Amino acid sequence: MEQLQVTDLQVEFGGLRAVDGLSFSVQEGEILCLLGPNGAGKSTTLDLICGKTQPTDGSIQLNGVEISQMLEFRRARLGIGRKFQVPSVYKNLTVDENLSVARSRRPGMWNALTRLSLTDAREAASILDRVNLGAKRHEMAGNLSHGETQWLEIGMVLMQDPSLLLMDEPTAGMTEQETAKTSEIFNALKGSHTLVVVEHDMSFVREIADIISVMHLGELLAQGTISEIESDPRVREVYLGSEGIS
């Protein structure tokens, strides 16, 4: 079943078409990786899906519902969660408290930190185990490594219980070991969540991707499995080079 359907999506900034007639779909429980050189329009596409940017034209459907003109918070309520490229966590709060803030639907930091139900607390503990931070729940977020901070933000997104996760370069700056653990996290999410992942680390993409969409100059250049993308001469010329995905 298609969970996300993007059709003829377009956005212009000052006459420059950053996304130009883009179409792709993602099946429920699938991981789609968006690849392409810098400036291809990948992060802008995530902005368009989550509502941070409004499209000039085209359609975005989530579970058959047209969302392209919805405000960002309404899309979030429909089940879209977004992790940005640069982690945004509360460094002066503990790991646990960061998840409390992410879960809270009440305005104000004090409400967020004092109204976490027992059910939410159990869910937070489960999510922290899932993102390899179970042993650091009482640690100040400012003391985490870069990779752990990335995992914390993934956990914060999961606390919002989204069905569709948009991930912008989740392994950027990670060590090889942290990247390997992140692939385990994503593969464990597969099936229960649908993910659209912008990523440059080709070995990570090989570990997680069900399908790959390659963008170039705002357009869809190619789409397929890893083997199909590797053998596509257009993708080799524009992005992968002669060595393919290593």
Give per-residue pLDDT as tens, 128-170: 999 999 999 999 999 999 999 999 999 999 998 899 999 999 9
Confidence of residue 110 (pLDDT cuts 50, 70, 90): very low
Predicted pLDDT of residue 66: 97
Residue with the larger pLDDT of the pair 107 and 39 = 39
Look up the pTM and report it: 0.89
Contact 179, 204 (CB under 8 A): yes
Integer CA distances (angstroms), 95 to 65, 98, 121, 157, in order: 35, 5, 12, 13
Structural domains of the chain in order of their starting residue, each with its CATH number: 1-78+193-246 (3.40.50.300), 80-161 (3.40.50.300)
The CA distance from 39 to 36, in Å, is 8
Taking the alpha carbons of 47, 49, 50, 54 in that order, is the dihedral positive or negative? positive
Predicted pLDDT of residue 112: 47
Confidence of residue 67 (pLDDT cuts 50, 70, 90): very high
* Mean pLDDT of the chain, nearest integer: 89
Predicted pLDDT of residue 87: 74
